[in-house]
Amino acid sequence: MRFLFVFLQILWFVSASFSLTREEEKYLTEIPFLPTPIKPLVVIDMDYSGSMQFPAYYRCNFWGYYGSKVARCGYVRADFSPQKVYYGYFNPQACYRYNPSGQYWEEANCDCSANGGVGTESCLSGNFLNWLVSSRIDVTLKALIGGKADCQGDSCILRPQGARRVVYIPSLNCRIGVEPENYWWGDYASKDLLIKTYDYGGNCKIGNWVRYARVKIPADKRIGVLQRIFDKVDLTFMFYNSYGHYGEIKYAFYENNLKKLLKALETTVPYWGTPTGESLWEVWDYLVQQNRHRYEDNYPYIGRRTYKDPYYLKEGNRYIPIPCRKSFVLLISDGEWNGRVDPARVAYRLHTRDLREDIPGPQKAQVFTLFTFSDSRWGKNSMATVAACGSFEDLDGDGKPFLVNCYYDSRRQNFPKNQCRRCLCKEWDKDCDGYPDNFFYAQNGQELEKSLTQIFTKILSVSGTAVSLPSTERKEGSGGGIAYGSVVTQATFQELYQKDRAVHWIGHMYNWWLWLGNGNTNIREDTVHNFVLDALGSEEVDRILEWSFDNWENTLRIKACLPDENGAPSSNCAVY
């Protein structure tokens, strides 16, 4: 179906100073002629396999897990590069001192330029600490929610997590252990990370000590992409690993609780294998609102035609379908799936099959993939194939993405595709770079945050949810008691892309009067057609416009009423 995008902007030209009334403030914040906003639904399906415990900036010599589910990364030889900026819980541009009473690091006005930009025992570089302690899950949570944290009052303590490893750093003569406290037993989620420094080939240049890796920050600095977009989209979060979590929902959109969403993300334990395809079937079951595949028990989040159903909305005492809901799946993974189900096949079905035959019009999902923390060719190929199969526009009508086989092993379909660089793959590659437009690749924290921002910006754009306010121009007219009159401008136009053509403007421009007076506030059309606001009178008067949207009929209704003697709507109305 076509969507109407409304772009509105307000500009006041007033010669005298005045204070805004409550009614005036309402018109600065609410657009009376828009339908009830239907936010896009985004299902975040995130890889919480054991590799997410691995260090973000150097290798892991993986050899299993402890009983506590802490991964073993063994002994690693690595060197810090001060020329690079390492993303993590610490500010890479700042220096840090350890607070022994609070057992956390905090920014300090000290010099950490010694030892090649590492610092000293009493003052360490935030960039070095990020390089040393950050795990893949730390970097991901930093980008998504600002990091795993305990917050009280106006401050938060960020709590790094991840695998146990020992890092040899020849340039510092140091052997540094990075490990969760009591790593061999207990509950993974409750453990804090420790840093232990020892001499190696000489005296360690930053001393010998044992300290926690926790860092204190202001509470308003703990913010990620999800906090920024929380009020603009409906979010459902699910995760997967092969330790009994094959697509488990931990938070659903109807809970509408940001703190609960953050807690769900930061308390989930990364462990074991990567059943990506099975998890996408659980996304299917969630959108269909029927537990068909049984890889995971998500019954608490399924309730067709109730508040749990993302395709239904409560209106009065009943729940009505919302066929205009746009649904998206954001798959975050290193792409190296090892389950029995190829995720590309499921993504294809999510995008091409009608998910809800009980609702008018085909309901389909669009899939985005974010390929992270891996240079694996198979992982990249798989995530690119999933994006192509889950988002293509069927321009040639054959029901398949051009040059991509959604039923052949996604790991063996090579990307980038050279033919697509000649702009032959517009069904899924409009920028002609050989990769699907819904495929994003992030090798570090900065790229991860940037990719997430781009993904949600694109989702909001194609959903038509970006709305600004009406543009107005002061223009006095007739009518006693008028506080001031203004022109309200509405520009309307349809989707930018229609098939393979870019359509930059197809629509109309409308102008209305904004009238405030005699305790009444309303918007007027120029009924008299004289380009002057005629607010009061029994003849030759401009009608009052009132907008409503019928969610059931999916229809905009405009009621045009003559004003009474005080400028309020009368019962003499027409409906457009």
Average pLDDT over residues 568-576: 88
More confident residue, 2 or 451: 451
Q: In angstroms, rounded to a whole number, what is the distance separating the alpha carbons of residues 390 and 397?
A: 16
Poorest-pLDDT segment among 211-215, 275-279, 436-440, 570-574: 570-574
Provide the percentage of residues in the chain whose pLDDT is more than 90.
76
Q: Closest Cα partner for 417 from 400, 404, 430?
A: 404
Name residues whose C-beta falls within 8 Å of residue 506's C-beta, 6 or more positions apart in sequence: 493, 494
| Whether residue 300 has pLDDT greater than 60 | yes
More confident residue, 500 or 211: 211
Cβ proximity of 363 and 325 under 8 Å: yes
Cα dist from 360 to 1, 116, 324, 550, whole Å: 11, 64, 9, 15
Poorest-pLDDT segment among 12-21, 71-80, 271-280: 12-21
What does the block give as tokens for 57?
A: 């900036």
Name residues whose C-beta falls within 8 Å of residue 549's C-beta, 6 or more positions apart in sequence: 34, 35, 36, 555, 556, 557
Q: In angstroms, rounded to a whole number, what is the distance separating the alpha carbons of residues 524 and 535?
A: 8
Poorest-pLDDT segment among 258-262, 373-377, 434-438, 502-506: 502-506
More confident residue, 469 or 40: 40
Q: In angstroms, rounded to a whole number, what is the distance separating the alpha carbons of residues 169 and 171?
A: 6
Poorest-pLDDT segment among 51-65, 341-355, 369-383, 502-516: 502-516
Q: In angstroms, rounded to a whole number, what is the distance separating the alpha carbons of residues 154 and 272?
A: 36
| Whether residue 471 has pLDDT greater than 70 | no
Sheet containing strand 123-125, edge to edge, reads 119-120, 123-125, 95-99, 104-108, 215-218, 155-158, 149-152
Mean pLDDT over the full length of the chain: 88
Cβ proximity of 66 and 162 under 8 Å: no
Residue type, 303: G
Q: Can you tell me which residue has the tokens 């807690």?
A: 263
Quick one: pLDDT band at residue 526, thresholds 50, 70, 90? confident
Average pLDDT over residues 488-493: 54
Q: Closest Cα partner for 391 from 344, 448, 461?
A: 344
pLDDT tens digits, residue range 171-181? 999 999 999 99
Q: What is the pLDDT of residue 480?
A: 36
Quick one: pLDDT band at residue 312, thresholds 50, 70, 90? very high
Q: In angstroms, rounded to a whole number, what is the distance separating the alpha carbons of residues 78 and 112?
A: 20
Cα dist from 251 to 153, 234, 242, 329, 501, whole Å: 25, 11, 19, 15, 39
pLDDT tens digits, residue range 389-438? 999 999 999 999 999 999 999 999 999 999 999 999 999 999 999 999 99
CA angle 113, 224, 240 (to 5 degrees): 110
Average pLDDT over residues 126-147: 98
pLDDT tens digits, residue range 529-551? 887 888 888 778 999 999 887 65
Q: In angstroms, rounded to a whole number, what is the distance separating the alpha carbons of residues 195 and 214?
A: 10
What does the block give as tokens for 108?
A: 């300090």
Q: What is the pLDDT of residue 420?
A: 96
More confident residue, 522 or 162: 162
Quick one: pLDDT band at residue 461, thresholds 50, 70, 90? confident
Name residues whose C-beta falls within 8 Å of residue 72's C-beta, 6 or more positions apart in sequence: 62, 63, 64, 65, 66, 163, 164
End-to-end CA distance of the chain: 22
Provide the percentage of residues in the chain whose pLDDT is more than 70.
85
Cβ proximity of 70 and 183 under 8 Å: yes
pLDDT tens digits, residue range 35-71? 557 999 999 999 999 999 999 999 999 999 999 999 9
Q: Closest Cα partner for 80 from 134, 123, 159?
A: 134
